[in-house]
């Protein structure tokens, strides 16, 4: 029975991702974000449960990546697609019923620039496929993990909805900003950059100092900036990782 517990958590991640897809397609980006956050929560604990119960398996690894493709790959791509639509006026924020169907008047009605946002989905799938055959990503990640990238993309509609800022709204709904974010995030997921993993094998401060410092700073940023803290935290995660990687390489061999 205990062998199925991690897989059940992974399937809950997948379930949340499918619900989020339905919501994102309907223009309910806020609720889609909440379901993605729930899916990422289950994604974190399925691996933890597998390690604690000592029931890691190849099936679990493959199932985890399949679920992540949906929750952390397909959903962010659709959300970015909708953000492109918002930037061009095709979709009206908060009024999904006023948006035209893609089959308006029996003809296909798609903003082709908006399809550029789906590059995130393609990049996520490619990254997860590489992760499954890479035996070097046990204590760290090579490239930005798809859940972290999903948090970044899903933070944008939350910022638009809950943080009244003309500057942030204008920035997020600028098509060039969206193009840059799409390209950079897709590249970062597949870049050969070593990023530390937030996995605690022990609870000692010395061996986990970077993780504890990062988590404390992240908590403070969330308290101060709310949803706007998420892009800042992702940036700091990459910056901290680069510093840690540089320190490792600069240490003299013993």
> How confident is the prediction for the chain on average, in pLDDT?
85
The C-alpha atoms of residue 108 and residue 90 are separated, in whole angstroms, by: 14
Question: Does the 4-249 domain belong in CATH 1.20.120?
Answer: yes
pLDDT tens for each residue of 111-140: 788 999 999 999 999 999 988 887 666 667
Residue 108 tokens, joined: 């296909």
Mean pLDDT across 151-166: 94
Whether pLDDT at 70 is above 80:
yes
Q: Provide mean pLDDT across the span 171-187.
A: 96
How would you label 114-126 residue by residue, b for 16+ Cβ within 10 Å and e otherwise?
Answer: bebbbbbbebbbe
Q: For residue 169, give Cα distances in angstroms to 65, 80, 157, 174.
A: 33, 15, 9, 8
What is this structure's pTM? 0.86
Q: Mean pLDDT throughout 64-87?
A: 95
Distances (CA, A) of 46 to 73, 99, 135, 211: 18, 38, 19, 20
Nearest to 124 by CA among 80, 89, 167: 80
**pLDDT above 90: residue 177:** yes
Could you tell me the residue ranges of all domains in the chain? 4-249
Q: Which of 34, 124, 27 is nearest to 78 (CA)?
A: 27
Q: What is the pLDDT of residues 83-110, one digit of tens each?
A: 999 998 766 555 544 444 444 444 556 7
pLDDT above 80 for 238: yes
Give the angle 81-65-194 at the CA atoms, nearest 5°: 85
């Amino acid at each position: 029975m205990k062998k199925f517990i991690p897989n059940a958590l992974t399937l809950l991640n997948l379930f949340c991702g499918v619900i989020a897809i339905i919501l994102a397609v309907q223009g309910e980006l806020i609720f889609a974000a909440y379901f993605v956050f729930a899916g990422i929560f289950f994604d974190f604990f399925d691996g933890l449960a597998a390690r604690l119960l000592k029931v890691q398996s190849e099936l679990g690894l493959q199932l985890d990546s399949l679920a992540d493709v949906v929750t952390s790959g397909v959903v962010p791509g659709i959300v970015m697609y909708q953000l492109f639509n918002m930037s061009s006026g095709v979709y009206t924020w908060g009024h999904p019923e006023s948006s035209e169907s893609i089959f308006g008047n029996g003809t296909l009605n798609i903003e082709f620039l908006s399809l550029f946002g789906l590059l995130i989905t393609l990049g996520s799938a490619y990254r997860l496929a590489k992760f499954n055959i890479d035996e070097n990503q046990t204590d760290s990640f090579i490239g930005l993990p798809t859940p972290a990238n999903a948090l970044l993309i899903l933070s944008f509609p939350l910022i638009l909805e809950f943080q009244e800022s003309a500057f942030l709204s204008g920035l997020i709904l600028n098509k060039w900003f969206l193009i840059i974010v799409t390209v950079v995030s897709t590249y970062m997921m597949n870049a050969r950059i070593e990023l530390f993993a937030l996995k605690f094998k022990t609870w000692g401060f010395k061996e986990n100092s970077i993780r504890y410092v990062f988590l404390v700073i992240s908590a403070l940023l969330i308290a101060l900036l709310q949803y706007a803290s998420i892009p800042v935290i992702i940036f700091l995660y990459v910056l901290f990782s680069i510093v840690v990687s540089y320190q490792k390489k600069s240490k003299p061999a013993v």
